[in-house]
Amino acid sequence: MTTVVQIEGLSKHFVLRKEKSLKERVVNFGRSRKHREDFWALRDIDLQIESGTTLGLIGPNGSGKSTLLKMVGGILQPDSGSVKIRGRLAALLELGAGFHPDLTGRENVYLNASILGLSRVQIDRYFDAIVDFSGIEAFIDTQVKFYSSGMYVRLAFAVAVHVDPDILLVDEVLAVGDEPFQRKCLERIREFQAEGRTIVMVTHGLDQVAEFCDRAVVLEKGRIVTDGTPREALRTLRADFEEVRQEEVERRQLAEEHTLNRAIARFTGISLATSSGVTSSAEIAPGEQLTVLMETFTSGEVTDFKIGVGIATPLGTVLWSTTTELLGDEVPPMRGTGMYQFALRDIPLTAGEYTIQTTLSGLDGREIHHVPAAAQFSVDDTLSSIGPVRLAASFDVRV
Ligand SMILES: Nc1ncnc2c1ncn2[C@@H]1O[C@H](COP(=O)(O)OP(=O)(O)OP(=O)(O)O)[C@@H](O)[C@H]1O
């Protein structure tokens, strides 16, 4: 396979200007440069993208995804390192990039497509198809500064996909299009994939990454932290998000504890018991019982709470869950350490990997501690169906 995007040692910094008070400015007049701070939006990025790949760039807000895409698109220049592109590149980056506000839609189509390397005759040939795809024919002779953001993206995407690009860069902007247009764009992206073109997309729609991409890169604070299958990348990102969420829950709990002097209860260990022993990562046969063992600790006494358990896919979709309350069980007050267990019988799942989630919450619904991937198990089954649910099925010919 050919490498179509080759990124080596790429770094980009921005200068953050911090406003100082008038007093600070007068006192330090001419001596201090402290109101300038260097900020690295990207640091030492090495990335190689092969032709025909659909790569998802994901990461928390401000992690550098758009900056990286802009550098691949040639809109931003790196401070160090290099980006080499092989083939024609079309980019749908931030709103406003690529279109001149005072020109009409028609003029912008010509301008934009010629910048992307098309001749006038070629643009004449594609023009009707571009306008038709965009669905904004009535506004094609209006200056684009009067366009809504959705109309803007419609026209920009229509141009980008009609200039016969080898590489298509798509930033989050697609999200401003309405639902039917987004569906149309995603269909076009699928056609591009089938034609073997290369696509790099930035998205916060994690389901989209699992659905569309064959490779995903997670950026965090300007560095690549995971580069692998969408499943691996999503696992990293979800774990990070979960860590942030958990920190927030803990901060809230601490604040609550200080004000209400309430005890905090937490899970201190989760394991799975099967016929072959106790582990945090079990393998079961269809129909085998799985017992989820939970250890908890609280510094004081916790009353009026429930315990929950759930089974999820590695991507976090909950397939099943229950709580002591739903089962009609009361949990006695918790003091110090606690040991509990849920027995899950005859699990109706097909071959695959699953995670166990556990939750401690008040009877009023307030979450005390949630562990999204507390343990894993896999079901070892012969493949006779598709999808996570196992059910008995047979086939007969009826004459
Ligand atoms: N022109 C600029 N001047 C100063 N700082 C900038 C500039 N462009 C981006 N940044 C900063 O660089 C960092 C990375 O920004 P970038 O837009 O690449 O993040 P992102 O991962 O795309 O975020 P989001 O998910 O919010 O779209 C941010 O902290 C942002 O504030």
pLDDT digits (tens, 9 = 90+) for 154-194: 898 888 888 888 999 988 877 777 888 888 888 888 899 99
The answer, yes or no, to whether any atom of ligand 1 lies below 6 A from the CB of 77, is no
Residue 75 is encoded by which pair of tokens?
Answer: 């809109």
Residues 143 and 292 in one domain: no
For ligand 1, what atom is nearest to the CA of residue 16?
Answer: 4
Q: Are residues 65 and 185 in the same domain?
A: yes
For residue 14, the enclosing domain spans: 3-20+32-235
Confidence of residue 25 (pLDDT cuts 50, 70, 90): low
Q: How far is the CA of 329 from the centre of ligand 1 (A)?
A: 50
**How many Å lie between the centroid of ligand 1 and the Cα of residue 218?**
15
Index of the ligand 1 atom closest to the CA of residue 60? 25
Q: Are residues 280 and 229 in the same domain?
A: no
- Ligand 1: nearest atom to the Cα of 69: 18
205, 127: one domain = yes
Q: Are strands 80-85 and 3-17 parallel, antiparallel or unpaired?
A: antiparallel
Domain CATH for 118:
3.40.50.300
Instruction: Say whether pLDDT at 257 is over 70.
Output: no
Site to probe by mutation for ligand 1, drawn from 66, 69, 169 as the one with most ligand atoms within 8 Å of Cβ, is 66
Question: Residues 215, 271: one domain?
Answer: no
What atom in ligand 1 is closest to the CA of residue 204?
A: 25
Separation CA 133–CA 274 (nearest Å) = 57
Instruction: Determine what percent of the chain is predicted with pLDDT higher than 90.
Output: 41
Assess whether the C-beta atom of 203 lies below 6 angstroms from ligand 1: no
SS (H, E, C) 250-281: HHHHHHHHHHHCCCCEEEEEEEEEECCEEECE
The interface predicted TM-score of the complex, written ipTM, equals: 0.94
Task: Say if residue 192 is in the same domain as residue 295.
Answer: no
- Condensed to tens digits (0 to 9), the pLDDT of residues 309-340 reads 999 987 778 999 999 999 999 999 998 999 99
Whether the Cβ atoms of residue 356 and residue 310 lie closer than 8 Å to each other: yes
Residue nearest to atom 4 of ligand 1 (CA): 14
17, amino acid identity:
R
For 194, other C-beta atoms within 10 Å of its C-beta total: 8
Domain check: are 277 and 200 in the same one? no
Q: Can you give the pTM of this predicted structure?
A: 0.66
Looking at residue 288, which CATH number applies to its domain? Answer: 2.70.50.60
Ligand 1: residue whose CA is nearest its atom 11: 41
What's residue 365's pLDDT? Answer: 84
63 lines ligand 1 (CB under 6 A): yes
- Please check the confidence at residue 250 and state whether its pLDDT lies above 80: no
